Structure 1
Amino acid sequence: MIASYQYRLRLTKSQKAEVEKWLELLRYQYNYLLADRFNWYEQNRCSINSCPLICYLPDLRNNPDYFSQKKTLPQLKKDRPWYKVLQSQVLQDCVKRVDLAFKGFLKGDSNGKKSGKPRFKGKNRYKSFTFPSLSKNPINGNILTLPKLGKVKMVYHRPIPKGFKIKTATITRKADGYYVTLSIKDDSVPGTIPVDNVSNPVGIDMGLKSLLVKSDGTEVQIPQYYRKAQKRLKKIQKAVTRSKKGSKNRKKAVTKLGKAHKKVADTRKDFHFKTAKNLLDDHDLVAHEKLNIKGLAKTKLAKSVLDAGWGQFLSILSNKAENAGLVTVAVNPRNTSQNCSNCGKKVPKKLKDRIHSCPHCGYVADRDLNAAINILNLAVGRPVRSKASRVTEPLGGVGKKPALSR
């Protein structure tokens, strides 16, 4: 099992200066290696599917990859001695980031989805570096020992569980200071409960009126942290816009704006963690819809969808359930709001209709509650039939590939 623990660092002035120096050197090297990749790509690619009979061929060279660029690092430290302050594995991790960014641009991920063209890092845009390995026991009280950086203080508010080993450490500069993210690993993995043996399953329907409605009738309201902070954010944003670019006042305003946005994001994330914990404390299986959140974020409901943070919440819920040996099931969202959870027949409704009233069996319930019950039925394998459908087998369940639209 792998988890990540984040702690705030209390750096001295000299340590802050050293971290900033590392980030700037790594930024230069990242841009240089990325430019080397682009140069090879432009010189060796052909804009059409065939070449003319007579053409000028430049001096070809091997495609720069992770291993060839990593071999240049010893010579880099000889030609530019100031790079010797960097720990060798931190510099190698910079090469790895360039490799991942360029591969995502050309080849894409495991699903074939390509990312955008990598961009060069401007000033203050390279914000983190990673130590791929640490000593056996790097933490002593509230002191963390890092290679070449030495001993740094941190707010050790959450002890590392017994049996876990610290694998990597990532130093990150944020709006309100510096943080370290420790990646910890434990070889023991809790056994997952079989779906057939769950004792207290629940279905949840994500919404904008309430964050979620459970199949037992309870609901969790949306705190709307961003909307409540909009007035203050607008005031700070005006100060940023009115200040002169490059001035000290603008830098102060930008820092203040970053802290305000981070406070909203942190508060929302804390709420999501607590909500997920409460769900998993009471239920051993949680069923939810697999929604096309990116598609919904491009509609008129974008601000409300992003303020609710469905994607972050479902990701946290899935990770916490996996670590606890519990189950989360994403089901096909099709007709979960239209079908009657009592008789299974389809009852067409518009988005403004918030009450489900079935003319076939007389069942009346809140629209979201009816959808949550349908989601639970799909997860445990019971059929939910529509009026026009005569299929006798379940429409969804564990192992089924969920649809992306509702």
Structure 2
Amino acid sequence: MQKNTDCYGWIASVVGAKLMRIAYQYRLLPTSEQRAKLSRWLDMLRLQYNWMLADRFDWWEMNRCPVNACPLVASIAEPREQPNYYSQKRSLVPLKQDRPWYKEIYSQALQDMVKRVKLAFDRYLSGDCNGNRSGKPRFKGKNRYRSFTYPQASIAWIDGNKIELPKLGIFKVIWHRPLPEGFKVKTAIVTKKADGWYITLTLEDMSVPEFISDVEPRENNSIGIDLGLEKFLADSDGGFEPIPQHFRKSEEKLARLQQKVSTAKQGSRARKLLVRKVAKLHQKIARQRKQFHFETAQKVLKKADVVFVEDLSVKNMSRCAKPKQDEAGKFLPNGQSAKSGLNKSIADAGWSQFLDILAFKAGKAGQRVVKVNPKGTSQHCSNCLNRVPKELSDRWHSCPHCATELDRDTNAAILIKKVGLDIALLKNAQPASDWKRSPRCTA
């Protein structure tokens, strides 16, 4: 049972000194009438989301420049107040008068839709709490708006194996595990997925204090791991975890289904069924990957209390290659064909998700995950710290100075552990003067 519960029991956030939130997801079993009503809600929320987003874009395009910086040729916009979260919430009252069918939707679900518009637009203009800006928000197409939220849910909605959602009725639920005692239900998110409808309950417990692990990293209670594509994981103890490549194994089946989709008639029932098969296959691949990450994280945490990992920027590693042009402006080969295959393998491995799961499980168990700078961990010897350059295709580490012979990934994992323990500082390691003479080492 532990295998299944971990996949949905994520610690969502820890706010303040004594506040812990977790999220449990369960499958809903709606009737045909309830499925139609849920889909109708999503469609109406999507249309209003697009309208409010367009209203913000319209004001922004017309009023973002000061008077002394406006272009010479521009349409003169009628002066009006800037749409914001509160003005758009107030607009829901006349909306229900002009379009009475919106009264069918629960009021707080409508208000949460306005909040989504605000968050999407704010991230585009100002960025998040770290200053990282998102791209321009896109309008939601059909089947792109997949969830709505009850911001103030209650444990009183649950009765046995059923849950009553306001203005939707009573739904049967597959309670694959009971709700933990002492937690209060705060929010409920209803989501449409490829294989049906799900509800995510956010639980809160004020009595659970924030726990920060005080385990001190030492040589005997820590381990270093190096993530890769030939092997998913190599640790400093010499262990390996093979990479399953869930997407690669299903790639041919997925290609056949997508080819059938492309030949099916637009809007036909056969095409819709094929599209659903494609979505279910993608969902299966994602679940297989997540399950593998949970199981691997459990294996790693059984070996040590402190785990040192690389502070990887996966987003930068999977970027497209920059275009190259000659003097005449003609585009030259830039290696994007080979890079696209590498990017697909990186996405299939799911390094970012694994590191998040590893940190989550370590926090639950009172253990620690420490990120270290990965610079130089694959180009230095773990024994003498001399630089031993290797190409990506070189999978064996052979040091010409101390005669260390071991797997390249194991060597990197040992270095990651030493850097985490402050035993090795690679920036002070002196490069070997004669590494070019070694036949095993290539620049």
Regarding TM over 0.5, the answer is yes
Matches within 5 A, 1:188-337: 188-189=208-209, 191-196=211-216, 200-298=221-319, 299-300=339-340, 301-337=342-378
Residue type matched to 2:266 in 1?
A: K
Question: How many angstroms does 1:62 deviate by?
Answer: 1.4
Question: How many angstroms does 1:377 deviate by?
Answer: 1.4
Confirm or deny: 8 A CA contact 1:290 1:332 kept in the other structure. yes
The CA distance in 2 between the partners of 1:281 and 1:181, in whole Å, is 29
Residue type matched to 1:331 in 2?
A: V
1:272-307 superposed Cα distances (whole Å, 9 cap, x missing partner)? 112112222332211111122123223341121111
2:211 aligns to what SS in structure 1?
coil
Query: Does 2:201 correspond to 1:182?
Result: yes
Deviation larger for 134-143 or 85-94:
134-143
1:206/1:55 CA distance change after superposition, 3 Å: closer
1:235 aligns to what SS in structure 2?
helix
Instruction: Please give the TM-score of this superposition, normalised by the length of structure 2.
Output: 0.83
Indicate the percent of aligned positions where both proteins have the same amino acid. 51
Query: Does 2:380 correspond to 1:361?
Result: no
Question: How many angstroms does 1:23 deviate by?
Answer: 0.6
Deviation larger for 8-17 or 184-193:
184-193
Confirm or deny: 8 A CA contact 2:415 2:424 kept in the other structure. no
The CA distance in 2 between the partners of 1:126 and 1:387, in whole Å, is 53
The CA distance in 2 between the partners of 1:23 and 1:56, in whole Å, is 35
The CA distance in 2 between the partners of 1:196 and 1:19, in whole Å, is 51
Residue type matched to 1:217 in 2?
A: G
Query: Does 2:134 correspond to 1:115?
Result: yes
Query: Does 2:430 correspond to 1:388?
Result: yes
1:217 aligns to what SS in structure 2?
coil
5+ residue gaps in structure 1? 390-406
1:196 aligns to what SS in structure 2?
coil
Question: How many angstroms does 1:36 deviate by?
Answer: 1.3
Q: Which residue of 106, 110, 113 corresponds with 2:125?
A: 106
Q: Which residue of 97, 113, 116 corresponds with 1:94?
A: 113
2:385 aligns to what SS in structure 1?
coil
The CA distance in 1 between the partners of 2:372 and 2:301, in whole Å, is 18
The CA distance in 2 between the partners of 1:387 and 1:38, in whole Å, is 53
Instruction: Please give the TM-score of this superposition, normalised by the length of structure 1.
Output: 0.90
1:246-265 superposed Cα distances (whole Å, 9 cap, x missing partner)? 22211111111111111111
1:278-337 superposed Cα distances (whole Å, 9 cap, x missing partner)? 222332211111122123223341121111111111111122222333211111001111
Question: How many angstroms does 1:197 deviate by?
Answer: 5.6
5+ residue gaps in structure 2? 1-19, 320-338, 432-443
The ranges of structure 1 where at least 4 consecutive aligned residues each deviate by more than 4 angstroms after the TM superposition are 52-57
Matches within 5 A, 1:61-140: 61-140=80-159
Question: How many angstroms does 1:213 deviate by?
Answer: 0.5
1:209-264 superposed Cα distances (whole Å, 9 cap, x missing partner)? 11110111111111111111112111111110111112221111111111111111
Question: How many angstroms does 1:99 deviate by?
Answer: 0.6
Confirm or deny: 8 A CA contact 1:190 1:324 kept in the other structure. no
